[in-house]
Amino acid sequence: MLDIKLKSNKFNIKLVIIITILIASIGMVLSYQRIKSDSKKFGYNIYEENTSFSNDIMESTYSLYCKVYDEKEEKYVKPADIMLEEKTNLDPYYKTESKDAFNRDIERFNENLVSRLKNIQYCVLDKDNNVLKQNVNSNLDLLVLKNNEDTAKKLQEKYDLYTVLNFDDKGNMKVENLYGADRQTFQSNLNKNIRDDLFSYETTNAFEIKPIKNMKFIYGVPKNLKYSDSIADYKLSEQSRSYSNASLLFKNIGIIFVGIMALIIPYKEIKDWAILKKVLKLPIEIIIVISYLAYIYLYYGSDQIILKTANNSPIIRVAQLQLTNDISNILNYFINIFYWFVLFSIVFISIIVIKHIIDYNIVNYLKEKSLIYKILKKIKYKLDWIKEIKLGEQNKKKIVTILILNLVVVCIMCSTWVVGIIISPIYTFIIYLLIKKKYSKINDNYNILLDMTKEIANGNLDLKIDKDLGVFDVLKKEIENIQAGLKKAVNEEVKSQKMKTELISNVSHDLKTPLTSIITYVDLLKDENLSEEDRRTYLETLDRKSERLRVLIEDLFEVSKANSGNVSLNIIDVDIVSLMKQTLLEVDDKFKESDLKIRTNFPSEKVMMKLDSQRMFRVFENLLMNISKYAMPSSRVYIDIANESEFVKISFKNMTEEEIKFNVEDLVERFVRGDKSRNTEGSGLGLAIAKSFVELQGGRFKISVDGDLFKVTIIFKK
C-alpha cells in the first residue's frame, strides 16, 4: 500500500513538472502578440539610426552621376576624369594609382547599387527637371514635377521612405520632400558621408573631388520589399532587435516560473527519474555546453521564430504539402510550443543538476564526471610513469617488457605475411639499439654529474653545466643550489674579513685627533693645582671629544659594512615624500641655527618605492646635516622630488659657504669634509654613508658643482 502511494506521489510530481513547463511554453507563445505590439516601443528608424543607409545613398548618388554623364556623352568616361581635380603637381605613378583607386570606388558603388540595393527605386533629374535616368517607372519624379498634397499622399501609401537630394549650381546639397525620417537627422547623416569620407585616402589626399551641380536625385524605399538586399537586412535587424528587447520580460518570467518549481521540488523526490539518471551520467562539460546552447537559443536564437509566428509567416516552408494558412499557423504554434518546452526543460534539468552536485559534493562530482579532470589525470599518470625510469638493474626488466610487447604487436600486424614475421626480429633489434643508445646517453649524463660534484668538492664553485642531463636534470639543479649556497657562504666570509680589514684601516685613519685631545686633557686634569673652573671646562671638552669619537666609530662601522656589502636591508613600501618631510622636521633646528630657508617641490600624491626606510632616513639626514654645516648662512636650500614614469629623482641644491677648490668626487670618499681646514664637527663619512646606502638599494648617487652651487642627485628606478 505504501509503495503504491509513493509511486502515485512520484507520478503526480512528474505531472506537475510537465504541466509547469507546458504552461510556461504556452504562456510564452500566447505572449507573441503582446511582444509584437511592445516591439514598437523598442524599434528605431533604420533611415535615421543606421548611418550605413546614408552611406549607401551617397555612394549611389555618385554612381548615378557618373552613369548619367556617360549616357549624355554617349561613351564611357572614367569616373576619375569626370570628378577629380588635381591639387598639386603629383608624381605620375602616384597620380595614376590615386585615379585607379577612385575608379575602383565608383565601380564598387555601381555593383552595390545593382546587388546590395535592389529594393531602392531612384530617379535622376537635371536642373530643368528632365528625367535623365530611373530604374523603374515609379512616379517619383512627381515629387518635383507635381509636388502637392495628393501626390504626397499617394506616394506615402506606396513608400516607406522617399526623399529628393537637390544639388544647386554651387554643389550644395539640400534634402527636400523627405518622408519616413527626420529631416535634420537625415541631412546630418548624409553630410557625414559626403565626398571625402566615401573615398580612399590616397584619392582625397591627391585630388579635389568636384561637387555634383544642378541635379536632383530622388530615392524611394517601397513598403513591400521584393528582394533580399541590404535594405531588407536593415529592417530585419531592426525587427529582431525590437522583438528581442520586447520578449526579454516574458522570457525571464518563464525562466523564473520554471526555476521556482525546480527549487521547490525536493531533490530526493526526483533523483530516481530515468531521464535525470541519463543526464547525470553525462560529463559535466557536455551538460554545461547543452545548458549554454539552450541559453543562446532562448535569448538570442528565438527572435526569428517569434517574429515569423507573430506575423503569420511559416517557420518551415514545405512546398509539396501546399498547406493552407490556418493549418500553417497551427503548425507554427505547435513548433513554437515544442521549441519552448525543450528550452524550459533544459533550464529545469540544469537547476536539478546543480542541486544534485551540491547534494553529492562538488569536488567528488567533478572528479567522477569531469572529462577535463579525467584527461589531466591520465596525462599525469603517463608522465609519472615516464618519470619512474631509474638507473639500475630494475630498468632491464622494464626494457625487456617493452621489447616483448613491441614484438607481439609487430607479429600480430604481420601475421598474415611471411615477410612481416621475418622483418619483425630485425625491427626489434633496431629498437634495442635505439634503447641502448638512450641508456648510454643516460650513463654519460651521470658521469657529467659525477664530475661536477668532484669539481665542487675540490673548491671550484664557478663551474656551470648548461647541458640538459635528462633524468638527472633535477638532481643537477639541486647540486647547483648547493653550489650557490657554498659560494654565498664563501663570499660572506670574504666580506666579513674585508670589513675587519677596512675597519682597522679606517680607525687608524681619523681617530688620532680626538684621541690625542682626550689624552691631553686627561693629563691636564691630573694637575692638583687646577682650578675648579678650568677642571669643569676640561671635562666639558672631554665630553665633546669623546662624543665625537663615539659618533666617528659608529660611522666607521656603518660605512665599512656598507662598502663590504655586509648590510641586511629591510625592504618595504616607503613613501619618499612622507619620509623626506619627516627628516626635514628632525633637522629643523639645525637649519634655523644657520638661518637657512627651505624650498620644496614635492608631488601631491604618494611616491611609493621598495626601499629600506631606516637606511633612506639616514641618507636624507646625512645630506641635510651636510647642508646645514656647509651651506651659506641665510641662503635658500632647494629640495625636489620628481615622480617620472620610469624613475624617481630626488635632488638637493644649496650655495656653499666655502669655495670648493677640490674634486667633488672626493667628497664621497671616507673622512673627507667640505672644509679642508676640518674646522667643522663631523666624521667626514656622511656623504660616503649616503652614497653606499643608496647604491645598496639599487639607486644612483651623483654630486655636481656649478660655481658655488652644490647639488646632490639620487635616482631610483621603479
Residue 453 lies in a domain: no
Cell numbers found for residue 1? 500500500
- pLDDT exceeds 70 at position 170: yes
- pLDDT exceeds 70 at position 132: yes
Residue 190 pLDDT class (50, 70, 90 cuts): confident
Torsion of CA 29, 35, 36, 40, to 10 degrees: -170
- Distance of alpha carbon 200 from the chain centroid: 32
> 700 pairs with which residues across the strands?
715
Cell numbers found for residue 191? 553630410
The reported pLDDT for the residue numbered 346 is: 92
Contact call for residues 98 and 207 (beta carbons, < 8 A): yes
Residue 572 pLDDT class (50, 70, 90 cuts): very high
Q: Name the phi and psi angles at 680, rounded to 5.
A: -85, 155
- pLDDT exceeds 80 at position 9: no
- pLDDT exceeds 70 at position 616: yes
Mark whether 50 and 195 lie in a shared domain. yes
Mark whether 85 and 222 lie in a shared domain. yes
- Nearest Cα to Cα of residue 563 among 497, 620, 612, 502: 502
CA–CA separation, 710 and 180 (whole Å): 78
CA–CA separation, 507 and 518 (whole Å): 16
Residue with cell 669643569: 536
> 597 pairs with which residues across the strands?
636
Most confident listed range (227-241, 400-414, 514-528, 536-550): 227-241
Q: How far is CA 458 from CA 473, 483, 492, 540, in A?
A: 22, 12, 19, 60
Of the residues 214, 233, 252, which one is the last residue of a structural domain?
Answer: 233
The reported pLDDT for the residue numbered 674 is: 42
Alpha helices in 361-417 (DSSP H): 362-369, 371-387, 394-413
Torsion of CA 280, 286, 290, 292, to 10 degrees: 120
Residue 659 lies in a domain: yes
26-40, 418-432, 635-649: segment of lowest average pLDDT: 418-432
Mark whether 575 and 697 lie in a shared domain. yes
Cell numbers found for residue 708? 658655488
- What integer best gives the mean pLDDT of the chain? 82
> 495 pairs with which residues across the strands?
none
- pLDDT exceeds 50 at position 672: no
CA–CA separation, 280 and 274 (whole Å): 10
Of the residues 338, 368, 398, which one is the last residue of a structural domain?
Answer: 368
Mark whether 198 and 90 lie in a shared domain. yes
- pLDDT exceeds 90 at position 544: no
Of the residues 192, 210, 233, which one is the last residue of a structural domain?
Answer: 233
Residue 401 lies in a domain: no
- pLDDT exceeds 50 at position 679: no
Residue 79 lies in a domain: yes
CA–CA separation, 22 and 16 (whole Å): 10
Residue 600 pLDDT class (50, 70, 90 cuts): very high
Q: What is the mean pLDDT of residues 532-560?
A: 75
Q: Which residue has the higher pLDDT, 493 or 681?
A: 493
> 636 pairs with which residues across the strands?
597
Q: Any residues with CB less than 8 A from the CB of 449 and at least 6 apart, and which?
A: 469, 472, 475, 476, 479
- pLDDT exceeds 70 at position 357: yes
Q: What is the mean pLDDT of residues 176-189?
A: 88
Residue 471 lies in a domain: no
Mark whether 143 and 88 lie in a shared domain. yes
In three-state secondary structure terms, 648 is strand
CA–CA separation, 187 and 194 (whole Å): 11
| Burial of residue 617 (number of CB atoms within 10 Å: 0-12, 13-18, 19+) | middle
In three-state secondary structure terms, 544 is helix
Q: Any residues with CB less than 8 A from the CB of 612 and at least 6 apart, and which?
A: 569, 570, 571, 572, 574, 693, 697
The reported pLDDT for the residue numbered 583 is: 93
The reported pLDDT for the residue numbered 700 is: 94
Mark whether 195 and 117 lie in a shared domain. yes
CA–CA separation, 695 and 108 (whole Å): 67
Contact call for residues 303 and 339 (beta carbons, < 8 A): no
Mark whether 197 and 291 lie in a shared domain. no
Mark whether 199 and 242 lie in a shared domain. no
Q: Which residue has the higher pLDDT, 235 or 473?
A: 235
Contact call for residues 252 and 344 (beta carbons, < 8 A): no
The reported pLDDT for the residue numbered 475 is: 78
Q: What is the mean pLDDT of residues 350-371?
A: 87
Q: What is the mean pLDDT of residues 553-573?
A: 74
> 164 pairs with which residues across the strands?
176, 218
How many domains are contained in the chain? 3
123-132, 462-471, 559-568: segment of lowest average pLDDT: 559-568
Residue 414 lies in a domain: no
- In 127-251, DSSP assigns E strands to 131-134, 159-167, 173-179, 207-209, 215-222
The reported pLDDT for the residue numbered 392 is: 47
Domain range for 294: 2-38+238-368
Mark whether 201 and 53 lie in a shared domain. yes
Give the domain CATH number at 577. 3.30.565.10
In three-state secondary structure terms, 555 is helix
CA–CA separation, 264 and 359 (whole Å): 15
Residue 458 lies in a domain: no
Residue 668 pLDDT class (50, 70, 90 cuts): low
Q: What per-residue string of b and e applies to 496-510 under the rule 16 or more CB within 10 Å gives b?
A: eeebeebbeebbeeb
Mark whether 228 and 284 lie in a shared domain. no
Q: Which residue has the higher pLDDT, 512 or 426?
A: 426
- In 135-266, DSSP assigns E strands to 159-167, 173-179, 207-209, 215-222
In three-state secondary structure terms, 498 is helix
- Max Cα distance, the chain (Å): 142
Q: Any residues with CB less than 8 A from the CB of 53 and at least 6 apart, and which?
A: 46, 47, 189, 231, 234
Contact call for residues 232 and 117 (beta carbons, < 8 A): no
CA–CA separation, 8 and 268 (whole Å): 15
Mark whether 710 and 618 lie in a shared domain. yes
What DSSP line would sit under 572-641, residue for residue?
Answer: EEEEHHHHHHHHHHHTHHHHHHTT-EEEEE--SS--EEEEEHHHHHHHHHHHHHHHHHHBPTT-EEEEEE
> 162 pairs with which residues across the strands?
179, 220
Mark whether 174 and 242 lie in a shared domain. no
Q: Which pLDDT tens digit goes with each residue over 64-73?
A: 999 988 888 7
The reported pLDDT for the residue numbered 667 is: 66
Residues above pLDDT 90, as percent of the chain: 24
Q: Which pLDDT tens digit goes with each residue over 618-654?
A: 899 989 999 998 899 999 999 999 999 899 999 999 9
- Nearest Cα to Cα of residue 226 among 314, 118, 115, 319: 118
Residue 304 lies in a domain: yes
Q: Which pLDDT tens digit goes with each residue over 259-284?
A: 999 898 888 878 778 888 888 888 99
Residue 670 pLDDT class (50, 70, 90 cuts): very low
Q: How many CB atoms lie within 10 A of CB 495?
A: 16
- pLDDT exceeds 60 at position 684: no
Q: Which pLDDT tens digit goes with each residue over 305-320?
A: 888 888 877 777 654 4
- pLDDT exceeds 90 at position 484: no
The reported pLDDT for the residue numbered 494 is: 78
Pairing of strands 571-575, 207-209: unpaired
Helices 686-696 and 532-564: crossing angle in degrees, nearest 10, is: 30
